Each structure stands twice: as structure tokens, then as C-alpha cells.
Amino acid sequence: MIEWLASIEGTPDGRRVAMGLALLAAVAHAVFGALQKGRHDPWLTRGAIDAWIFVLSAPVALFVVPWPEGRVWGLLLGALAIHFVYKVLMAMAYSRAAYTVVYPVVRGTGPLATVAFAAVVFDEDYSLAQWSGVVLLSGSILALAWFNLRGVVAGRGDLRAGLGIALLAGLSVAVYTTYDAYGIRATPNPFTFLAWFFFVTAVDFPAIALWRFAHMIDPPALGPLLRRGFAGAWIAFVSFGAVMLATRLDKVGEAAVLRETSVVFAALIGWFFLHERVGPQRGALVVLIALGAVIVEFG
């Protein structure tokens, strides 16, 4: 597997595989979004997910893949810090504003910043058509957030704070996407970086969630929370793992943009499986998001 991945890096075959992996990551993001509906306290949910990630990744990291060497340890510690900031920002945003508002703001801010970061860090070149596709995709996702915002009844101060934090979280998505791409490219065995990435970056939030749970006046039942965390852990493996492999095989910015078509898949899941009304405005924005991704990929 490692030899095959190395052989297709930077080739047309690698580009096609990267596109498939990025779309797989997008579907996983959308499924995770569906699981978030009716969610528990966001700090507890993230803690439950990370606890399962830690447990499930430990045997692979410790006994299956080669251990990291040299500067890879430093890259993993950097990933721990960056993803901790991202998870804190997401939990803070979800505590202040609705999921349907926060999620599109985060996902709409990320692609534009990621493409800009990748152009600087990896010297990636994008055509004017591709840049227009990124703007179309990000703008349509943010427009979807504004559309969802109109139906939200919440405290104005909390809502403003939630939107501001969501914007910062979107920038942190761009930072960690670029950083993770650098890390997986700098590691000879990509599966070493993946396994240890999941193992190392999952050590923080279980402790935070446990402290929060212990100090709650009316804590939730552990069974449903742990079941949701177990499902979220497997989705995280697919989502983060697929997009990181995609950034090793092809352009970081293109993989990031395709991943954000998760908003499209989320709308389809809501329409077909959750029987939600999409409506003509949301439907048009979903089409524009998909069109933006197509322009970036083939522009």
C-alpha cells in the first residue's frame, strides 16, 4: 500500500484517488453533521469522541505501524496544539449559536483560507477560474449560513459571539489542514503519521469532558453519549484520514475545497433520510456550492 501510494503521488492517477478520498471525507463530515442533531453538550460530545479515538487508535499506533522518528514527534506535538485550539473554538461556537449557523460559517471560511495558505506554504498554483470557484463555493456556504440565521431565535450577544468564534474556527481549519498536509508529507510512512496523529491529538478533550461531567448539576446519561462518541470516532477516522491522504497525493487546496462539499451531502442526507425541507433558496445554494467545487477541480 505504501509503495503504491508513493508511486502515484503527483500523477493523474494520484489526482483521481485524491479526489475520491476528499469526497469520501466530505460524506463523512455530512454524516457526522447528521449525528450532531439533538446533540449533547458539545464539550462532552467532543470528549466522548476523542476518548474512543484514543482507545481505538492506541493498538494501531503502538503495535502495528512504525513509531515516529526524529522531527515527526515535534510535528505531532504541533498537531496536538493546533487541533486543541480548533476543538475549543468549535465547542465555544456550538455553545453560543445553532449548529445550522455555526457549521456553514466554519466550512465556508476554511476553503478560501486553505487555498491561500497552500499557495504560500506549498507553492501551489491556481488558475483564475479555480480562484473564482473557491469564492463561489465559500460565498454560497456563507450565504447558506445567513439563510439559516434568519430562522434562529437566540440572544443577540451570544449569537454575535458564536458567529465570531465560528469565523476563527474556520481559519483554524485552514491552519490545521495545511499543517497536517505538511506533517503527512514529511513522514516516510503516511500511516505512521495518521495512527499517531489520532492517538496523540485525542488525549486532551476526554480530560476536559470528564471534569465538566463531574461538575454538572444534572449530567446526561452516559450510554447515549458514549454511543454517539463511538460513532463519531469512526467517522473522524474516515474524514480526517481520507483528506490527509488526499493532501499527500495532490494539491492541498483542491482537497480542502472538495471536502467542504460536505454541506451538499448534509443537505441530501437531510432531504432523503431526515425528511427535512430544503426549499428553493437552500437548493439553489447547494447547487452553487457543488458548482464551485467542480470549477476548482476542473478549472
Tell me how many degrees the CA angle 257-26-258 measures, rounded to the nearest 5: 20
pLDDT value for 4: 84
pLDDT value for 32: 73
Tell me how many degrees the CA angle 2-175-115 measures, rounded to the nearest 5: 80
pLDDT value for 211: 95
Could you tell me the three cell numbers for 221? Answer: 446519561
Which residues neighbour 62 within 8 Å (Cβ) at sequence distance 6 or greater?
A: 199
Q: Taking residues 148-172, what's their average pLDDT? A: 76
DSSP output for 259-281: HTTHHHHHHHHHHHTS----HHH
pLDDT value for 33: 67
| Percent of the chain's residues with pLDDT above 70 | 93
* Mean pLDDT over the full length of the chain: 87
pLDDT digits (tens, 9 = 90+) for 63-74: 999 999 999 999
For residue 234, pLDDT beyond 90: yes
Could you tell me the three cell numbers for 213? Answer: 461531567
Could you tell me the three cell numbers for 59? Answer: 493498538
CB-based contact 230:88 (threshold 8 Å): no
Instruction: Please report which helix (H) or strand (E) contains residue 286, including its range.
Output: helix 279-298
pLDDT value for 236: 92
Domain ranges of the chain: 14-298
